[in-house]
Amino acid sequence: MWALDKKPLRDEAGGAAASPVLVAVALALFLTLVLAMIDLHREMLISAIGSYGLNPLVVGP
């Protein structure tokens, strides 16, 4: 009975694998969402960090 359930892994992985284009589009949409959320909450971030922002580690002349 369990012998009928066993299938080669190559056949299952091919149908369930995500397309690289789909992954790239999903990442682009996620980054757009993150940037939009930062833009919408800019005032709250400025009040939390301060008006001076984060000090750089290395300051040039």
Predicted pLDDT of residue 16:
65
Separation CA 51–CA 38 (nearest Å): 16
User: Is 38 within 8 Å of 45 (Cβ atoms)?
Assistant: yes
pLDDT of 7 > 60? The answer is yes
Question: 3-class SS at 10?
Answer: helix
pTM over 0.75: no
Model confidence pLDDT, tens digit, residues 10-59:
555 555 678 999 999 999 999 999 999 988 888 887 787 776 666 666 66
Predicted pLDDT of residue 40:
87
Residue 54 carries which side chain, given as an amino acid letter?
Answer: L
Predicted pLDDT of residue 10:
56
Residue extents of the structural domains in the chain = 20-49
